[in-house]
């Protein structure tokens, strides 16, 4: 079988355009593998799965020269061959048109080692792709199985505390709208304290059928990770916490996050005429971002400002680059609202 024809046929099998990027080829293979793997599609999908795997293997290991040669032949164009792309055997990739003078022994050995390294790297990548597909299939089978079964609390606890994020999500989805036994709620709290929360996890947790006491306990567990949260997740959690009454103790945790946007959102939600504790206030008033200072100064304007903050507020009113910061700081100085 002619290699150029094999390569062009591989593109057709995977359903990608000739010359597609390796990322597109990889995505197409994984999509087909997940559709036609015998564990999903049954024995009838085995042939298509094997064809996709074979096509992916060829495209994964083909050199750029072989790809280019195949595409030129498929388009009916005659390409001038170089020494590396001679015709040679129809069963060999990169065969030579004519016998060449052998290179020096050292150079020949170097080329051989380089070729072996490239080949080994491609084999490792292919094995990794197959492993990823197998892992996704295992999760898919687990999800499919769980839809028709009522799981025991012990199994749900194991999934909530497991290492695979998709398995934890599956367990959370199965709990929405249901009363939670004590052992499952304890596992939820443990997961919230130990795992970095994602947006979907937060949404599912807040949809749980919980009384006010449990909601607050869960909110405390989630808020305990505020300092290490990414900005997007922390902002999502803040929006969810705004549904709770008496949330000041939770907002304190949000003020420990390094993001200016998160701190600003927490300050906007802060109850009026009160201030964070002195250590937090000292840290915040030293910051320079307008996003932090404007809501902080607005909050300080409504409360009694500690005297130690006077020099800093005066300096902000005179020297800060933001007009909004200068206005708010100046209004505090003029009002004499300093203890």
Q: Is 67 a domain residue?
A: yes
**Confidence at residue 79, expressed as pLDDT on a 0 to 100 scale:** 44
Give the burial class of 198: count Cβ atoms within 10 A of its Cβ; 0-12 exposed, 13-18 middle, 19 or more buried.
middle
299 and 284 in a single domain? The answer is yes
Whether 163 is covered by a domain: the verdict is yes
Per-residue confidence (pLDDT) for residue 128, from 0 to 100: 61
Q: Helix H segments across 100-242?
A: 105-147, 153-160, 165-175, 182-194, 199-206, 212-223, 231-241
Contact 219, 193 (CB under 8 A): no
The verdict on residue 241 lying in a domain is: yes
Q: What is the pLDDT of residue 295?
A: 96
Q: Quick one: 34 and 162 in the same domain?
A: no
290, 216: one domain? no
Q: Whole-structure pTM over 0.85, yes or no? A: no
Separation between Cα atoms, residue 29 and residue 11, nearest integer Å: 10
Q: Domain for residue 313, yes or no?
A: yes
Please give the chain's pLDDT, 339 residues, in tens. 344 447 888 888 888 888 777 778 877 887 787 677 665 566 777 788 788 877 887 887 777 778 888 777 776 644 444 444 444 434 333 444 444 555 555 566 666 666 566 556 655 666 666 666 665 555 555 555 555 556 788 888 888 888 777 788 888 888 888 889 999 999 999 998 888 777 788 888 878 888 889 989 999 999 999 998 889 889 989 988 888 888 899 999 999 999 999 999 999 999 988 999 999 999 999 999 999 999 999 999 988 888 899 999 999 999 999 999 999 999 999 887 665
For residue 172, is it within any domain?
yes
CATH number at residue 66: 1.10.287.110
Task: With respect to residue 266, please indicate whether it lies within any of the assigned structural domains.
Answer: no
Q: Which domain holds residue 23?
A: 3-82+113-146
The answer to whether residue 97 sits within a structural domain is: no
Domain assignment of residue 98, yes or no: no
For 171-193, letters b (16+ CB in 10 Å) and e give: bbebbeeeebeeebbebbbebbe
Report CA torsion sign: 227, 233, 235, 240.
negative
For 119, other C-beta atoms within 10 Å of its C-beta total: 11
- My answer on whether 51 and 64 are in the same domain is yes
**Could you give the 3-state DSSP secondary structure of residue 267?**
helix
Q: Out of 220, 252, 284, pick the residue that ends a domain.
A: 252
Looking at the chain, how many residues does it have?
A: 339
CA distance linking residue 197 with residue 175, whole number of Å: 17
Q: Give me the numbers of helices (H) and strands (E) for the chain, helices first please.
A: 18, 0
Whether 78 and 178 share a structural domain: no
Q: Which of 321, 280, 328, 282 lies closest to 302, judged by CA?
A: 328
Burial of 306 (0-12, 13-18, 19+ CB in 10 A): middle
Please check whether residues 138 and 197 belong to one and the same domain: no
The helix/strand/coil state of 95 is: coil
Provide the sign of the torsion angle of the four alpha carbons 14, 20, 22, 27, taken in this order: negative
DSSP 147-178: HTS---HHHHHHHHTSS-HHHHHHHHHHHTTS
Q: How many domains does the chain have?
A: 3
Comparing C-alpha atoms, which of 56, 59, 3 is closest to residue 31?
56
Q: Which residues contact 114 (CB under 8 A, 6 or more apart)?
A: none
210 and 289, same structural domain?
no
End-to-end Cα distance, the chain: 89
């Amino acid at each position: 079988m002619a290699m150029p024809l094999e390569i062009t046929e591989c593109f057709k099998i995977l359903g990608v355009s000739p010359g597609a990027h390796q990322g597109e080829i990889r995505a197409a293979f994984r999509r087909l593998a997940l559709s036609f793997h015998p564990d999903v599609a049954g024995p009838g999908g085995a042939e298509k799965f094997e064809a996709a795997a074979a096509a992916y293997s060829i495209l994964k290991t083909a050199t750029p020269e072989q790809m280019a040669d195949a595409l030129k032949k498929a388009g009916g164009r005659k390409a001038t061959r170089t020494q590396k792309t001679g015709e040679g055997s129809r069963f060999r990739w990169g065969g030579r048109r004519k016998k060449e003078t052998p290179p020096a022994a050292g150079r020949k050995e170097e080329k051989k080692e380089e070729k072996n390294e490239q080949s080994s790297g491609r084999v490792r990548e292919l094995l990794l792709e197959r492993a990823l597909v197998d892992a996704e299939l295992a999760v898919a089978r687990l999800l499919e199985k769980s839809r028709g079964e009522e799981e025991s609390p012990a199994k749900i606890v194991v999934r909530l505390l497991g290492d695979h994020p998709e398995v934890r999500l599956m367990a959370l989805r199965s709990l929405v709208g249901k009363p939670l036994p004590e052992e499952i709620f304890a596992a939820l709290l443990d997961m919230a304290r130990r795992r970095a929360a994602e947006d979907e996890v937060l949404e599912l947790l807040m949809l749980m059928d919980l009384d006010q006491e449990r909601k607050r306990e869960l909110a405390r567990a989630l808020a305990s990770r505020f300092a290490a949260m990414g900005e997007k997740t922390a902002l999502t959690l803040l929006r969810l916490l705004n549904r709770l009454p008496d949330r000041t103790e939770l907002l304190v945790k949000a003020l420990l996050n390094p993001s200016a946007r998160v701190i600003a959102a927490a300050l906007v939600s802060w109850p009026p005429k009160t201030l964070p504790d002195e250590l937090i206030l000292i840290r915040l008033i030293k910051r320079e971002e307008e996003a932090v200072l404007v809501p902080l100064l607005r909050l300080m304007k409504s409360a009694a400002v500690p005297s130690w903050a006077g020099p800093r507020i005066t300096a902000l009113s005179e020297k800060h680059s933001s007009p909004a910061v200068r206005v708010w700081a100046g209004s505090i100085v003029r009002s004499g609202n300093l203890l």
